[in-house]
């Protein structure tokens, strides 16, 4: 292994889309030397070069890959196995290889396993819609790791060098882990679309709706970071206000009926969190749950408190 202060040594990035480019920028920023970066097409290489501030190759795999200590495969999930087979004639024994899939195990790199010191999965738990912003916050990210011991040592060092923290996610758990990631990230965008749909019914344009919602969502995430679960939950379900929930459902059925099913699903999950939180009484939460199941209100529960 080349002389370096990092276990990962020099790094070669194969695949410079959003994930590969973000990782490359972050590695350069923390002083990890890049042996090279490679894309499939000239257009991709040109875009990646502008992000990394260095030459990015394309087409034929360059000999610089052999000078790397760690090869990071940052290509779409279905392409990982094919890339591993392609790299098999280029890698050398001292290297380790990591892929960046969240749902796939290190077995997708199986063609390289007998040729290297080890292989592993190395998934940064971030949204990569914008590689520039993603590279800036990799220092706070979890990295889900699984694989061979030697490659795991490198992956843990790489995660910590980037400023993040490693978490072990065994092969059998990768898909459930990835489902959790999709829920927290992809479904958050879907949730914003659901809320924006309701706001459009009252006359806001979509851009206005998003602008109005983002500070609210950001403040909720800040509460979640500071207070954790279940204390970050607020709102009518948290306080056991069945009247407010009933009013929500009435308005949604009248004005935005397509949003009723997602509202019910999320409110029911919020009721589970509210029980753990303990702000509302068991009786209040039972009335919320009856409301969400479509049962009529019990006498005396006609409240609709303000938010």
Residues 271-295: pLDDT tens digits? Answer: 999 999 999 999 999 999 999 998 7
Average the pLDDT over each of 28-32, 188-192, 242-246 and give the range with the smallest value.
Answer: 28-32
pLDDT of residue 136: 87
Question: Given pLDDT bands bounded at 50, 70 and 90, which one contains residue 7?
Answer: confident
Statement: residue 262 has pLDDT above 90: yes
What is the rounded CA–CA span in Å between residue 45 and residue 36? 12
Statement: residue 32 has pLDDT above 70: yes
pLDDT of residue 304: 43
Mean pLDDT, residues 98-105 taken together: 97
Max avg pLDDT among 3-7, 50-54, 104-108: 104-108
Is the CATH number of domain 11-173 3.40.50.300? no
Statement: residue 1 has pLDDT above 80: no
pLDDT of residue 134: 86
pLDDT of residue 306: 38
Statement: residue 2 has pLDDT above 50: no
Statement: residue 74 has pLDDT above 70: yes
Cα–Cα nearest to 183, from 112, 239, 133, 125: 125
Backbone angles phi, psi at 132, to 5 degrees: -65, -50
pLDDT of residue 135: 87
Q: Under 8 Å CB-to-CB from 81, ≥6 apart: which residues?
A: 108, 110, 111
What is the rounded CA–CA span in Å between residue 104 and residue 85? 16
Question: Given pLDDT bands bounded at 50, 70 and 90, which one contains residue 303?
Answer: very low
Statement: residue 148 has pLDDT above 80: yes
Question: Given pLDDT bands bounded at 50, 70 and 90, which one contains residue 299?
Answer: low
Q: Where are the domains of the chain?
A: 11-173, 186-292
Q: Which parts of the chain are beta strand (E)?
A: 11-14, 34-39, 57-58, 70-73, 96-99, 118-124, 142-147, 165-168
Statement: residue 88 has pLDDT above 50: yes
Map residue 228 onto helix, strand or coil.
Answer: coil
Statement: residue 192 has pLDDT above 50: yes
Mean pLDDT, residues 170-197 taken together: 96
What is the rounded CA–CA span in Å between residue 80 and residue 167? 22
Please state the pTM of the whole predicted model: 0.88
Question: Given pLDDT bands bounded at 50, 70 and 90, which one contains residue 5?
Answer: low
Note whether 146 and 170 are within 8 A (CB): yes
| Mean confidence (pLDDT) of the chain | 92
Statement: residue 53 has pLDDT above 90: no
């Amino acid at each position: 292994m080349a002389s370096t202060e990092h276990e990962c040594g020099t790094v070669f990035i194969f695949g410079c889309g959003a994930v590969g480019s973000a990782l490359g920028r972050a590695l350069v920023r923390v002083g990890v030397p890049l042996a090279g970066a490679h894309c499939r097409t000239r257009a991709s290489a040109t875009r990646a070069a502008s992000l990394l501030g260095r030459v990015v190759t394309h087409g034929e795999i360059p000999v610089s890959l052999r000078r790397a200590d760690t090869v990071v495969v940052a290509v779409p999930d279905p392409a990982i196995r094919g890339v591993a087979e392609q790299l098999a004639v280029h890698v050398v024994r001292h290297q380790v290889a990591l892929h960046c899939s969240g749902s796939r195990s290190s077995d997708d790199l199986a063609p390289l396993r007998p040729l290297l010191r080890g292989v592993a999965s190395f998934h940064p738990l971030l949204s990569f819609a914008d590689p520039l912003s993603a590279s800036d916050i990799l220092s706070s990210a979890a990295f889900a790791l699984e694989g061979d011991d030697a490659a795991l040592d490198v992956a843990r060092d790489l995660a910590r060098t980037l400023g993040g923290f490693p978490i072990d996610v065994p092969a059998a758990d990768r898909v459930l882990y990835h489902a959790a990631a999709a829920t927290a990230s992809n479904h958050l965008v879907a949730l914003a679309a659901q809320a924006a749909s309701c706001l459009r019914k009252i006359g806001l344009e979509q851009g206005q709706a998003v602008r109005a919602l983002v500070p609210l969502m950001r403040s909720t995430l800040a509460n979640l970071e500071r207070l954790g679960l279940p204390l970050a939950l607020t709102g009518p379900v948290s306080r056991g206000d069945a009247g407010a929930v009933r009013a929500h459902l009435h308005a949604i059925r009248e004005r935005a009926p397509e949003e009723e099913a997602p509202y019910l699903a999320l409110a029911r999950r919020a009721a589970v969190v509210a029980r753990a939180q303990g702000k509302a009484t068991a009786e209040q939460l039972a009335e919320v749950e009856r409301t969400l199941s479509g049962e009529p209100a019990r006498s005396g529960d006609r409240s609709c408190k303000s938010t």
